[in-house]
Amino acid sequence: MKRWLFALPLLALLAFGGLGMVQLFDGRKPTFELANRDAPIMVFEAMDGGSAINFAALPDGQPIVVNLWASWCAPCVVEHPLLMELAERHPGRIHGLVYEDTPENARTFLTARGNPFTRLALDPTGQGGLEFGLTGVPETFVIAPGGIITHHHRGVLTEDDIDALSDMLDAAG
């Protein structure tokens, strides 16, 4: 009887580990989380030196996509061609937030790979990412008129995600 009691913690650990693996590899998870929260009211410095950027106050009344990325982020390199494709489909609607990176590194990245972003904001301290609800780059947000984040995608975008984003932007105008 006593030997069985020593195995109980190991069995519990294996059960929790198995549950975690099931959750991690569950393909039924939605790609985009529905969100209904305000975009950060923060004002970000523009990378191009133009006017400051406030994602909560959209100027033209159309939804935008905001991608949080960094030049040091390997998954950001993977998804970049898909962002270029999305920018071709929806000119002027794709924006970027350079997370905990330098303008010089971001420019080098974009010069080598192309620039899908209409405007680029800088977040050198990472505070803006935290205000968005970022858990790690890359992450993508859809912001509707009125400064409401309607959708949130964690991780690398896929071709299906780009199609879904395009559909969201088409449906909204």
pLDDT at 160: 95
pLDDT at 61: 82
Pairwise CA distance, residues 96 & 106, whole Å: 11
pLDDT at 58: 76
Sequence-separated (6 or more) residues with CB below 8 Å from residue 24: none
pLDDT at 116: 98
pLDDT at 15: 60
Tens digit of each residue's pLDDT, the chain (173 residues): 576 666 666 665 666 555 445 544 555 455 889 889 999 999 999 999 999 999 998 767 899 999 999 999 999 999 999 999 999 999 999 999 999 999 999 999 999 999 999 999 999 999 999 999 999 999 999 999 999 999 999 999 999 999 999 999 998 65
Pairwise CA distance, residues 119 & 103, whole Å: 13
Pairwise CA distance, residues 8 & 1, whole Å: 11
pLDDT at 30: 53
pLDDT at 57: 87
DSSP 47-87: TTSSS-B-TTS-SSSS-EEEEEE-TT-HHHHHHHHHHHHHH
